[in-house]
Amino acid sequence: MIDVINLEKHFGENQVLNDISVTIDKGDIVVVVGPSGSGKSTFLRCLNCMEDPTGGQIIFNGVDIADVKVDINIHRRRMGMVFQHFNLFNNKTVIQNIMLAPVHVQCQDLRKAKQKNLLLRFTNLFRKEKKALEPITTTKVKIKEDARENALALLRRIGLEDKADVYPSTLSGGQKQRVAIVRSLAMNPDVILFDEPTSALDPEMVGEVLDLMKDLAREGMTMIIVTHEMGFAKEVANKVLFIDEGKILESAPPKEFFGNPKNPRLQDFLSKVLV
Amino acid sequence: MGDFERKVERFIEIFINQNGYVKVVEGLKNTLLIAILGLIIGILIGTIIATVRVIPKYKVLPRILNGICSFYVGLFRGTPMVVQLLVCYYVMLPLMGAHMTGVQVAILVFGLNSGAYISEIMRSGILSVDSGQMEAGRAVGLSFGTTMIKIVIPQAVKNILPTLGNEFITLIKETSVVSFVGAADLYVAFSYIGSNSYEFMVPYLVMAIIYIVLVMIISLGIKTMERSLRKSDRRH
C-alpha cells in the first residue's frame, strides 16, 4: 500500500534520512525503533509529507505523494496521524475535534459538486447532447448528523461518551490520546501513523492507549508506529524496523528482530533498552 | 467657585437650549463609527497580512506577498496618522478624482493604519499558538487556510484580545485628529460649544469625561469577552 523508494531528507547540510526503501502492505503493523536523533520520527513525518522529502518517492495507493504537484490534502485524508503531544484542537470540544475534518471535507465535496452541476446546467443549454448532472444524495444537515453519530459511536468505543461536550483541557493525557486516535479514525483512513503516542503520557495511562492500538491492530488496520515500547512491538508488530543515522539497519519480524538481531548496532541498542 | 458655576450654567444653556447636544451626539456617533469600522477593517487586513507573513516561504509567491505586506506595514507605521489622513484626503482623492466625505476617509485611513499595527499583534498571536495545532489540522487533510481559519486564528485571537482591546482604545482616542479632514467628531462638537460660549473650560472637561467613560465601557466589554473565550481553558 505504501512503497517508500530511496527516501532522502536533509535539513540544510544535515542528512537525516539516507536512502530509505521499505514496502508496507495492507494490514501491516510496522514498528519503528531506534536511538533518539536517529531519524525515525522524521521518517514517519515524511510518509505523509509533514516534512517534505528532499529526494525519493513515496507511492501511496499508486500515487507519488512526495511529488510537490500532488494535492497532498486529499491523500492525507486517507492517512491518519497521531502525535506525541496529542495536538487536539484546543478551541473545539471533544466531539467537534472528531467531527471537524469529516464534516469539512464532505461539505467541501458537496459544494464542489453543486458548483459543477450549476456549470453543467448552464452549458447544457447550448449542448445538443445533454451531459448528465452529478448525483447529489446528501445535504449539509445530513452530513453533520452522520458525522455526529459516527463521532458518538467512536467515543462510545473508547468509553468517553460523557466527555463529548467538554474541552480537551479537562481530559487526562490518556484520554486525550485516545480521542486523538479516534479523531484520525473518523476519516476512515487506510493507514494510521503513530509518532511516539505514549511518550508524553504518565506511566499509568500508557496501558489504555496501547490497548486501543492493539484493538485497531486486531481489526486489521494498517499501522506504522514509532515507539519505545518494546513489549508492544514484540506483541503486536509483524515487522520491526531499526533506524539509525538515517538508515534502516534491520527489518525483520519481531521474533527474529528481538531473538536473533544481526546488526551489531541493533544488538547494542537492544542490550540497552531490554533490561 | 462662583465663577465655575457660571461657566457650568453657560455650558448647560448652550448644550440644551442652542442644540449643543445634537452636535455632541453627532460627534459621538462619528467617533464611534470611525473607531469601530476602522477596527473591523483593521482586523480583516491585519489577519490577512499576519497569515501571509507566517506562510512558509519556500515558494516565490509567498515571498512576493510577504514583501508587499512588509512594505505596507512599514509605510503605515512609519508615518503619523494625521499625515496619512491629510495625504489621503488632499492628495490621493483629488488624484483619483474620487469624492469621499471626511468621515469616510477617516474610516478608511483608520482601517488601513490599524491594519498595519494589528497585523503585528496578530502575527505574535499566531506564533503563540502551538505549532502542533497546525500540524494536526494538516494531518487530517485540511488545507493551510482552513486550519488557519478554523483552528489557529481563533486561538490566536483569544491570546491577543487584551492587546487588541488596547488597539481599539487607541483608535477611539486618535479619532480626535479627524477634524483635520473635516469630519465632525467629539472634539469638533465640544469646540463648537466652547467657541459659541467663549468658554472652553467646561466643554473640554466634559469631553475628557466622555472619553474616559467610553474607554471604561470598552475595557469592561473586552473583559467579558475574554472570560467567555477562556471557556476552553477552564478545568471543571
- Each residue's pLDDT, cut to its tens digit, for chain A (275 residues) gives 899 999 999 888 888 999 899 999 999 999 999 998 888 999 999 998 998 899 899 999 989 998 888 889 999 999 999 999 999 999 999 999 999 999 999 999 999 999 998 998 888 888 888 888 888 888 899 999 999 999 999 999 999 999 999 999 999 999 999 999 999 999 999 999 999 999 999 989 999 999 999 999 999 999 999 998 898 999 999 999 999 989 999 999 999 999 888 999 999 999 988 87
B86 touches chain A (CB under 8 A): no
| CATH code assigned at B68 | 1.10.3720.10
Where does residue B215 rank: exposed (0-12), middle (13-18), buried (19+ CB within 10 A)? middle
The Cβ-side half-sphere exposure at A94, using a 13 Å CA radius, reads 27
Compare B197 and B142 and report the one with higher pLDDT: B142
ipTM surpassing 0.90, yes or no?
A: no
Quote the pLDDT of residue A158.
Answer: 93
Q: Which chain A residue has the Cα nearest residue B231?
A: A167
Residue-level pLDDT at A24: 92
Give chain A's contact residues with B (Cβ, < 8 Å).
48, 50, 73-77, 79-81, 83, 85-92, 100-101, 104-105, 167-170, 180, 183-184, 187
User: For residue range B98-136, what is the model confidence (pLDDT) as tens digits?
Assistant: 888 889 999 999 999 999 999 999 999 999 999 999 999
Residue A223 has phi, psi (to 5 degrees) of -135, 140
Residue A73 to residue A248: CA distance in whole angstroms:
28
CA-to-CA dists, residue A7 to A16, A39, A74, A228, A240, angstroms: 10, 12, 21, 23, 18
Query: Could you tell me the residue range of the domain that residue B48 belongs to?
Result: 3-235
* Contact yes or no for B155/B149 (Cβ under 8 A): no
pLDDT-based confidence at residue B152 (cuts at 50, 70, 90): very high
Three cell numbers written together for A147: 458525522
What confidence tier does B199 reach under pLDDT thresholds 50, 70, 90? confident
Q: Which of A61, A68, A89 to mutate to test the interface with B (most CBs of B within 10 A)?
A: A89
CB spacing of B140 vs A77 below 8 angstroms = yes
- Candidates B57, B61, B129, B140: best to mutate against A (most CBs of A within 10 A) is B140
* CA separation for the pair B39, B115 (Å, rounded): 8
Distance, CA of B163 to CA of A138 (rounded, Å): 44
How far is A97 from B49, CA to CA, in rounded Å? 27
For residue A128, report the phi and psi dihedrals to the nearest 5 degrees: -80, -50
Contacts of A101 in chain B (CB under 8 A): 140-142
| pLDDT higher than 70, residue B236 | no
pLDDT bracket for residue B211 (50, 70, 90):
very high
pLDDT at residue B197 above 90? Answer: no
Q: What is the mean pLDDT of residues B193-206?
A: 85
- List Cα–Cα distances, B213 to B35, B162, B192, in angstroms: 15, 18, 21
The pLDDT of residue A148 is: 94
Please report, for chain A, how many H helices and E strands are present, in that order: 9, 10
Measure the CA–CA gap between A261 and A267, rounded to whole angstroms.
6
Q: Are A213 and A236 in contact (CB under 8 A)?
A: yes
C-alpha–C-alpha distance, residues A199 and B76, integer Å: 47
Residues 132-171 of B with CB under 8 A from A: 132-133, 135-143, 146, 150-151, 154-155, 158
Question: Which pLDDT does position B235 carry in this prediction?
Answer: 56
User: Taking CB atoms and an 8 Å cutoff, what residues of chain B touch A75?
Assistant: 141
Please tell me the distance in Å from A73's CA to the nearest CA on chain B. 4
Q: What is the pLDDT of residue A23?
A: 93
Q: Kindly list the residues from chain A whose CB atom is less than 8 angstroms away from the CB atom of residue B143.
A: 73
Please report the pLDDT score of residue A105 as a whole number: 92
What pLDDT, on the 0 to 100 scale, is given for residue A127? 83
Backbone torsions φ then ψ of A23, nearest 5 degrees: -115, 135
Give the model's pLDDT for residue B1. 56
Q: How far is B192 from chain A (nearest CA, A)?
A: 49
Number of domains in chain B: 1
- State the cell numbers at A80: 491518519
Helices then strands, each counted (H, E), chain B:
11, 0
Q: Measuring CA to CA, how many Å separate B6 from each of A73, A259, B9, B10, B196?
A: 74, 102, 5, 6, 15
